[in-house]
Structures are given as structure tokens and as C-alpha cells.
Amino acid sequence: MADKKIIAVVGATGAQGGGLVHAILSDKSGGFTARALTRDVKSDKARALAKLGAEVVAADVDDLESLKRAFAGAYGAFCVTFFWAHFSPEKEFAEATAMAKAAKHAGLQHVIWSTLEDTRQWVPLSDNRMPTLMAKYKVPHFDAKGEANRVFTDLGVPTTFLLTSFYWENLIYFGMGPKKGPDGKLAITLPMGDKKLPCIAAEDIGKCALGIFKKGREYIGKTLGIAGEHLTGTQMAAALTKALGQEVRYNAVPPEVYRTLGFPGAEDIGNMFQFKRDFESYFCGARNPAVARSLNPSLQTFDTWLARNKSRIPLA
């Protein structure tokens, strides 16, 4: 234990960080140990991680001093922000900045920053194909993450920039599962036309992150994208049909319609899908399943994920 390198994991009780903590703890002969960061060390999830062998420490990404304490003495850190907890890109940028500063202060040797594209590099605010949101963003929950990349670079933090993909868990938790239409048939609704969407099982992000840490310095300073598969809406619907044993259709709506669906963040997510649709070649090219599999040999395909999770998808 003493000679193992400590990885401080932000969001340890959540999807991405939780995947990494479990991957580290399962890798008994590996060279790393997990320090799980949580705002509440007494929560059920935090206690469960401690029981599995993680060191559980209190930290809040809105509190720089707590991050400095939590990163102290660690070899590396996995950094992620929680846009959907507050819907504020400015707050997300500040949180990423706090993590970068804490990493610098602690002298960490390797940070993985779970980021996404600043879509304004592809779709400037003057481009009217999609509306500008919150006065200065196209895809707020992407743009601030991408904008924050430079903070890690400018501070000289040895960072791997990890581009993640759409979680299949969104079919369970994010209201994106199949829903019955007026015709009584189940359908998934996506504004992707016939373009491919890179997707991944959320826990595989953490497994890939462990793969990156295991490669030592190889990916420091690099941007690495991961996906389990690239799938069209039609392919996702076909896989769901097979797994659920009832027909699921693909309802391809235009982004203009998706943006008006009225759920919190619908405009942001509508713009996000439009970005993925309009820049399919770049977006898929940046997220190579073969790279992800090289980091995580147990990488799941949609069929594998469905076989394990289909009963958790609510069918309204």
C-alpha cells in the first residue's frame, strides 16, 4: 500500500469518478490507490467507497482550500465538473480553475481533466445556424469546459485532456430513454439525422482514465477522445428493439424542434446534438473506440451495455 501512487478522484460518488475509483480498487496488483473526494464523507455512497478500500476525504470544487488539502501528497488527480448541478458555465469555469490551481499547488505529476470541446471554435457566436445561449455560448456545458483547458496549460499542470462521449446511462437517468408516441409505439428522439453519435458506458470513462494513468507520461499534454461505439439513431433503436423485445423507433427531429422540448437545458442539449451532427466527421474522429479499448480492454459496446442494463431503462 505504502508504495502505491495516490489518485485523488473528484466526483468519486458519481458516474465518471465512481468508475475510476472502482477501476483502481479492482486493480489490486496495480500501482495506484484511490482517494475519493466527496462533499459528504458520511453519505451512503461515500461509506460504500470507504468499505471497498478507498480513502474518503471531504472536498468541494467550489472551495479551493478544500481541494488543496484533498490533492496534497497525491501523485495524480481526475478532475471533472458538474454542469447540471447548477447550469452555469461561469461557475464550471471557476471550478475547473480551482482544480487546476490546487493541482499546481500540490505539485501533482499527472492530472486527467474531463473536458469537452469549446464549440465556438467551430461555430462562432456570429454563426446563426444555432442560437447563442446565455449571451456568449453556443453549447454552454461544452464551451466552458473547453475554455478551461488553457487554465491547466497556462499553469503548467501536467494534464491529459480527456474528451468523453454521450453516456448510455442517459437512457436511464436523463429522460432520453424510449417514450411512447401518440401512436403508442416506443421511440427515442434525437436531432442527429442520419449522423453517428459517439457513445459510451459511463463506467468505462473511469476505466479508460485508469488506463491513461497506467501509461505514465505518454499522454501528458495530449488530448485523447474515447467512445464505446459510434451509432446512428437508427442503429440505437435497432439495438434497443432487440434488447427490449419490443419495437423502438428512431424519431429524428430537427434541432430547432429539440430545442423547444421544454426540459431544463433543452436548448443547450439541442445545440450540442446539432454540433455533433454538423461536425460528425471531426467529432467521431476525435473519439476513437480502438483507442478507448487499448486503454480499457473490457470496453462495452451498446449491445453489451444493454444486456446488463436494459431492465433499468424506464419505459414510460
Ligand X SMILES: NC(=O)c1ccc[n+]([C@@H]2O[C@H](COP(=O)([O-])OP(=O)(O)OC[C@H]3O[C@@H](n4cnc5c(N)ncnc54)[C@H](OP(=O)(O)O)[C@@H]3O)[C@@H](O)[C@H]2O)c1
Residues lying near ligand X in the complex (CB under 6 A) are found at 11, 13-17, 38-40, 43, 46, 60-62, 80-85, 141, 164, 166-167, 170, 174
What gap in Å lies between CA 191 and CA 273, rounded to an integer? 6
DSSP string, 78-126: EE---GGGT--HHHHHHHHHHHHHHHHHHT-SEEEEEE---GGGTS-TT
> Minimal distance in Å, beta carbon 65 to ligand X?
13
Nearer to ligand X, 85 or 156 (CB): 85
> Minimal distance in Å, beta carbon 135 to ligand X?
20
State residue 33 phi and psi, 5-degree precision. Answer: -130, 150
Nearer to ligand X, 71 or 166 (CB): 166
Neighbours of 170 (CB within 10 A): 14
Residue type at 294? Answer: S
What gap in Å lies between CA 188 and CA 110, rounded to an integer? 39
> Minimal distance in Å, beta carbon 187 to ligand X?
19
Nearer to ligand X, 62 or 247 (CB): 62
Angle value at C-alpha 283, between 190 and 152, nearest 5 degrees: 120
> Minimal distance in Å, beta carbon 26 to ligand X?
18
> Minimal distance in Å, beta carbon 206 to ligand X?
9
Look up residue 180 and give its three cell numbers. 411512447
Sign of CA dihedral 195, 160, 7, 80: negative
> Minimal distance in Å, beta carbon 128 to ligand X?
25
Report the residue number whose CB is nearest to ligand X.
14
Strands 179-180 and 186-190 turn out to be antiparallel
Look up residue 294 and give its three cell numbers. 487499448
Q: In angstroms, what CA-CA distances link 198 with 165, 201, 299?
A: 6, 11, 13
DSSP string, 150-183: HHHHHTT--EEEEE--EETTHHHHSS-S-EE-TT
> Minimal distance in Å, beta carbon 36 to ligand X?
8
Beta bridge partners of 37: 57
Are 77 and 103 in contact by the 8 Å Cβ rule? The answer is yes
Nearer to ligand X, 81 or 300 (CB): 81
Question: For the chain, what percentages of helix, strand and coil (3-state, to nearest 5) are there?
Answer: 45, 20, 40
Nearer to ligand X, 170 or 241 (CB): 170
> Minimal distance in Å, beta carbon 185 to ligand X?
25
